[in-house]
């Protein structure tokens, strides 16, 4: 009995780990193989350690509000190595007309909860602030119809709040176009707040009260966590823990075809491999290519999940090269500012342990749906954009000591309108292929905890399938013995 996991990103690694740990407990002893087309594990998680700087190429933190990231760290015995962000200097800024304006205090999941900071902020016009107040008087929408994030927030808080506040914060997560993103698939709790509390502000206030109560009972304060040595530490620890898993790097799975008793995998440059069950933990479009030969309808649905290309440029300096104090976690740039960059993290303030004494590290994000994506392929252009961004917004023109560019073509899945229906169709199609499961960022959450959870769920569904198969075999054997 062999289970193959295709893709060695965090979802595939979590699936392999769950298979290894649970199969033992279930007295199943499958051979587990993880196949990754690149020469390294981790997928989007890439951590480089250069001259005592910890540089993240992809994700740099995960949220503790979704339990699966912390739970995995606990299982791997690295929970005590998780560090929060610097809460003393957690100011975040938004660019308005080219200038940095501090994000008003009191936002809960992007939604304002404090009156005075919103009244005083120069981020919004007086009319925009007045319009925001209509949230209290706007009745919840009827029915269960999904709507775009942009339409929903504009309906409740006004277009200006959407464009100046919510859109740039949301872009930091999805790099998407909020006028196309499905509310139900991205921020479903906002709709729940509208229904349950009558307004977004009411929902946000309730959340703040809950958080305050949790803090009193000793819960950690920063909701953003990362291992001390970068997220790569999580990947390295997982890799070391997969002692019963055969890991194959630099091998690309080319097709997966159902055959008697499972699936036959074609692997570039290697012998075909039979598997009793397969978990596809590759991006949606890559999974589509693999299933197309036997289920074109499933492939079409998977191909319907759009992806956006992004890049990050990390620049390291000596602090005394900079006139800027980097006093905060960084800033986001609204789409309407028309800039090529999306955001800039002041990494050495947000995570002081990521830079040596006297060092300064910043990271510029480039590329969002329909904006800046065209530059992703050109490394020099990306560096030029990043340096222009630092010069124009922060006045930093110093020559960086270290520059690292990470290009992420087709990296961010977009949960656009129609995504919930796509997930339903995927589930219906998968019901025809017991022994086949999907995992990863394409489906029910792009954050690391969600990807871990999706890998674990895929593993659980495969193990349940194998347990049923085993019961059926045992039953058939018993019947043969009896007769």
Ligand X SMILES: Cc1cc2nc3c(=O)[nH]c(=O)nc-3n(C[C@H](O)[C@H](O)[C@H](O)COP(=O)(O)OP(=O)(O)OC[C@H]3O[C@@H](n4cnc5c(N)ncnc54)[C@H](O)[C@@H]3O)c2cc1C
User: Which residues have C-beta within 8 Å of that of residue 112, sequence separation ≥ 6?
Assistant: 104, 106, 118, 132, 161, 165, 201, 204
- How far is the C-alpha of 63 from the C-alpha of 211, rounded, in Å? 14
Sequence length of the chain is 483
Please say which residue, 35 or 123, places its beta carbon nearer to ligand X.
35
310 touches ligand X (CB under 6 A): yes
Contact predicate 174/415, CB 8 Å: yes
Please say which residue, 16 or 316, places its beta carbon nearer to ligand X.
16
- How far is the C-alpha of 178 from the C-alpha of 165, rounded, in Å? 12
Contact predicate 465/435, CB 8 Å: yes
Q: Among the candidate windows 141-149, 197-205, 373-381, 443-451, which touches ligand X by CB under 6 A?
A: 443-451
312 touches ligand X (CB under 6 A): yes
* Neighbouring-strand partners of residue 277: 3
Query: Binding residue for ligand X (CB under 6 A) from 30, 58, 168, 230?
Result: 58
Q: Among the candidate windows 3-11, 25-33, 109-117, 322-330, which touches ligand X by CB under 6 A?
A: 3-11
Q: Among the candidate windows 58-66, 82-90, 134-142, 154-162, which touches ligand X by CB under 6 A?
A: 58-66
Window 239-278: contact mask with ligand X (x via CB under 6 A):
-------------xx-------------------------
Q: Among the candidate windows 2-10, 99-107, 113-121, 123-131, which touches ligand X by CB under 6 A?
A: 2-10
Specify the residue for token string 């009558």: 198
Contact predicate 328/351, CB 8 Å: no
Q: State the minimum distance, in angstroms, from the CB of residue 163 to ligand X.
A: 23
Query: Binding residue for ligand X (CB under 6 A) from 6, 72, 278, 376?
Result: 6
281 touches ligand X (CB under 6 A): yes
343 touches ligand X (CB under 6 A): no
Structure token pair of residue 315: 């620049």
Q: Exposure pattern of 217-235 as b/e (b: 16+ CB <10 Å)? A: eeeeebebbbbebbbbbbb
Distances (CA, A) of 468 to 13, 125, 419, 473: 24, 62, 31, 9
Specify the residue for token string 């030029």: 384
Please say which residue, 199 or 416, places its beta carbon nearer to ligand X.
416
Q: State the minimum distance, in angstroms, from the CB of residue 330 to ligand X.
A: 12
62 touches ligand X (CB under 6 A): yes
Contact residues for ligand X, defined by CB under 6 A: 6-12, 35-38, 43-45, 58-62, 252-253, 281-283, 286, 310, 312, 408, 411-412, 440-441, 446-448, 451
């Amino acid at each position: 009995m062999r289970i193959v996991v295709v893709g060695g990103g965090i979802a595939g690694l979590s699936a392999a780990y769950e298979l290894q740990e649970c199969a033992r407990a279930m007295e199943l002893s499958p051979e587990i193989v993880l196949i990754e087309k690149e020469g390294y594990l981790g997928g989007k998680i890439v951590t480089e350690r250069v001259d005592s700087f910890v540089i993240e190429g992809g994700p740099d933190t995960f949220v503790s509000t979704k339990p699966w990231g912390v739970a995995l760290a606990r299982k791997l015995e690295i929970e005590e190595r998780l560090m929060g962000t610097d809460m003393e200097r957690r100011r975040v800024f938004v660019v308005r007309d080219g200038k940095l304006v501090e994000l008003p205090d009191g936002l809960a999941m992007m939604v304002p909860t404090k009156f005075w900071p919103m009244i005083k902020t120069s981020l919004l016009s007086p009319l925009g602030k007045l319009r925001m107040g209509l949230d209290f008087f706007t009745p919840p929408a009827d029915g269960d119809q999904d709507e775009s994030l942009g339409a929903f927030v504009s309906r409740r808080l006004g277009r200006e709040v959407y464009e100046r506040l919510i859109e740039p914060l949301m872009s930091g997560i999805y790099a998407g176009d909020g006028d196309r993103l499905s509310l139900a698939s991205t921020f479903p709790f906002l709709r729940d707040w509208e229904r349950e509390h009558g307004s977004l502000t009411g929902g946000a206030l309730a959340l703040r009260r809950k958080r305050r109560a949790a803090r009193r009972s000793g819960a950690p304060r920063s909701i953003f966590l990362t291992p001390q040595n970068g997220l790569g530490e999580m990947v390295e620890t997982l890799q070391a823990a997969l002692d019963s898993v055969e890991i194959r790097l630099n091998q690309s799975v080319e097709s997966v075809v159902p055959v008697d008793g499972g699936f036959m995998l074609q692997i570039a440059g290697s012998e075909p491999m039979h598997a009793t069950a397969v978990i596809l933990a590759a991006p949606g479009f890559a999974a589509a290519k693999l299933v197309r030969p036997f289920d074109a309808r499933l492939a079409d649905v998977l191909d319907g999940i759009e992806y956006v290309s992004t890049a990050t440029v990390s620049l390291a300096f000596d602090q005394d090269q900079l006139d800027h104090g980097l006093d905060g976690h960084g800033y986001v740039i609204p789409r309407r500012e028309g800039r090529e960059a999306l955001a800039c993290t002041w990494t050495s303030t947000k995570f002081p342990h990521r830079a040596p004494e006297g060092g300064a590290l910043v990271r510029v994000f480039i590329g969002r749906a329909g904006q800046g994506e065209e530059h992703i392929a050109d490394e020099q252009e990306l560096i030029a954009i990043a340096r222009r961004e630092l010069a124009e917004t922060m006045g930093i023109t110093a020559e960086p000591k270290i520059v690292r560019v990470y290009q992420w073509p087709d990296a961010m899945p977009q949960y656009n309108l129609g995504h919930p229906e796509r997930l339903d169709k995927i589930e219906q199609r998968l019901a025809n292929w017991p022994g086949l499961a999907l995992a990863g960022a394409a489906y029910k959450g792009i954050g690391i905890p969600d990807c871990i959870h999706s890998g674990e769920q895929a593993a659980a569904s495969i193990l349940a399938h194998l347990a049923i198969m085993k019961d059926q075999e045992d039953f058939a054997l018993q019947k043969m013995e009896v007769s």
